[in-house]
């Protein structure tokens, strides 16, 4: 498995030169982000490629995902590699992902913050960890990361590869840069045929379609004692949630609640923002509309007078998907591409979505065909869809069952990904005489 030589690229050379010159500015950016709570001040050196954690002996895989969704999606891959006796270092770029990985990574796997894409930072990181294989998740095409990995001859694989129409158009304006980057990948494992076509069009030499890893992610856990407590607090009330919302969606959700509250007495709406730091702002929006809100991050619980419960904590989607039988998926009412519905479907929620689902178009299309989603566009249609489900338990259960069955049927990407990676593991083992 010899990787073809990467073509020269003046855009890539220019990028590498600029990022090297701007290294002092990168250090200042990190300090500024730390003051704003966007970086972990106790681990900020990791963002410059330093590590106090020693490299484990033997084969080591480096897996990089941008944030929460990407890192959760590769957990089954991490678990299978560790079970093979392969050490794994998982990198991500956000505090939220680090907190979740701290709880979920199995023994034998290590989390590090990914260095900023500065040549010296990346060299320092790779010199320390000396990965024997590198897996990049979805669309994290950082030029210095790719160039430094490729320069050492380390097998480089894109897993759960995704290329949106917008990103495809943008990269096509820089054909030399896209070819220079993607030609350095030994293999690109795409989520869908369309993703695979776009990656090949941009210069990826070897592309296989294996499906979406997020379809194989286990249902998120929940504190069952807390679930029992919250269930008791909301017993007898109609409950639904808006999951992983973005700015612009909360207002629509609040308007929908206002439209439903008369026909659904005691209605409780749970809003779980994609970024928990927006919890205070959502509570303020609710107050402006005359709705009483409680915030989970403040230790508050929903009493009988609470209309809006803001689930502004990390790592608890499993709790709220189990609590609410109907879930609107966030980033679908605003043009953000839509969050994956897999976790909600696996936990038995009836799904509602808006029109913007490009990030998981194939999954949503399959759910739509099976009657596993209701499609809405604004507060009025959202209120109509949610109230129709809450007032018809049989219909609600049927929609939830259809969604769950479709998600299970679409699985298998983990096994196909591991089969594609296996030759690289064997090549390492043969080279080590094992």
What is the dihedral sign for C-alpha 47, 50, 53, 59?
positive
The strand pairing partners of 188, in sequence order, are 158, 207
Query: What length is written for the chain?
Result: 434
Q: Exactly one of 70, 138, 140, 249 is catalytic; which is it?
A: 70
Provide the 3-class DSSP secondary structure of residue 328: strand
Q: Taking a C-beta distance cutoff of 8 angstroms, is the pair 315, 301 a contact?
A: no
The rounded distance, in Å, linking the Cα atoms of 186 and 202 is 15
Distance from the Cα of residue 310 to its chain's centroid: 21
Q: Write the CB contacts of 401 (distance below 8 Å, at least 6 apart in sequence).
A: none
How many Å apart are CA 32 and CA 26, to the nearest integer? 10
Which tokens hold the place of 165?
């129409």
Only one residue has tokens 């959502």, namely: 282
Q: In the chain, what are the helix, strand and coil shares in percent, each to the nearest 5? A: 50, 15, 35
Q: 376 in helix, strand or coil?
A: coil
Closest CA to 230 of 289, 326, 306: 306
Q: Report the Cα 244 to chain-centroid distance in Å.
A: 11
Separation of alpha carbons 299 and 333, rounded Å: 29
Q: Is 70 a catalytic residue?
A: yes
SS3 148: helix
Three-state DSSP class for 61? Answer: strand
Q: Among all chains, which residue has been given the structure tokens 């369309």?
A: 194
Q: What would the two tokens of residue 179 be? A: 């070819």
**CB-based contact 69:340 (threshold 8 Å):** yes
Which residues are 239's β-sheet partners? 268
Q: Which residues is 199 bridged to in the sheet?
A: none
Extract the runs of DSSP E, i.e. beta strands, from 145-274.
156-161, 187-190, 207-209, 239-245, 268-273
Handedness of CA 337, 342, 345, 347 (dihedral sign): negative
- Residues with Cβ < 8 Å from 80, sequence gap 6 or more? 414, 418
The token pair at 343 is: 């976790």
Residues classed as catalytic = 70
């Amino acid at each position: 498995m010899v990787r073809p030589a990467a073509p020269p690229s003046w855009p890539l050379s220019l990028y590498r030169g600029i990022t090297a010159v701007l290294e002092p500015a990168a250090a200042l950016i990190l300090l500024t982000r730390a003051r704003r709570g966007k970086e972990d001040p106790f681990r900020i050196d990791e963002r410059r490629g330093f590590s106090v954690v020693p490299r484990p002996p033997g084969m080591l895989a480096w897996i990089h995902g941008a944030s929460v969704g990407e890192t959760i999606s590769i957990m089954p891959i991490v678990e299978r590699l560790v079970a093979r006796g392969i050490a794994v270092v998982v990198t991500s770029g956000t505090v939220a992902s680090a907190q979740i990985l701290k709880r979920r990574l199995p023994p034998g796997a290590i989390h590090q913050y990914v260095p900023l894409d500065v040549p010296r930072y990346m060299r320092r990181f790779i010199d320390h960890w000396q990965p024997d294989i590198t897996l990049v998740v979805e669309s994290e095409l950082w030029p210095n990361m790719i160039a430094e990995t490729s320069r050492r001859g380390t097998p480089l694989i894109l897993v759960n590869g995704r290329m949106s129409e917008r990103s495809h158009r943008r990269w096509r304006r820089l054909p030399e840069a896209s070819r220079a980057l993607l030609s350095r990948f030994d293999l690109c494992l795409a989520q869908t045929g369309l993703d695979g076509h776009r990656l090949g069009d941009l210069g990826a030499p070897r592309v296989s379609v294996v499906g979406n890893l997020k379809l194989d992610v286990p249902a998120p856990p929940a504190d069952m004692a807390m679930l029992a407590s919250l269930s008791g607090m909301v017993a007898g009330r109609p409950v639904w949630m808006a999951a992983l919302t973005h700015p612009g969606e909360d207002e629509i959700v609040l308007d929908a609640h206002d439209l439903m509250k008369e026909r659904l007495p005691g209605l409780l709406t749970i809003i779980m923002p994609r970024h928990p730091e927006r919890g205070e702002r959502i509570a303020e929006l609710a107050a402006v509309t005359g709705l009483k809100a409680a915030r989970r991050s403040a230790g508050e619980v929903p009493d009988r007078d609470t209309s809006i419960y803001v689930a502004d904590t990390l790592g608890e989607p499993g709790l709220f998907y189990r609590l609410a039988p109907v879930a609107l998926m966030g980033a679908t009412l605003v043009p953000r591409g839509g969050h994956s519905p897999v976790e909600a479907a696996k936990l038995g929620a009836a799904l509602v979505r808006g029109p913007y689902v490009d990030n998981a178009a194939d999954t949503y299309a399959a759910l739509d065909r099976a009657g596993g989603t209701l499609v809405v566009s604004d507060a009025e249609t959202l209120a109509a869809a949610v109230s129709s489900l809450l007032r018809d338990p049989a219909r609600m259960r049927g929609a939830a069952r259809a969604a769950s069955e479709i998600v299970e049927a679409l699985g298998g990407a983990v096994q196909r990904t591991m089969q594609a990676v296996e030759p690289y593991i064997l090549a390492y083992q043969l080279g080590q005489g094992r």
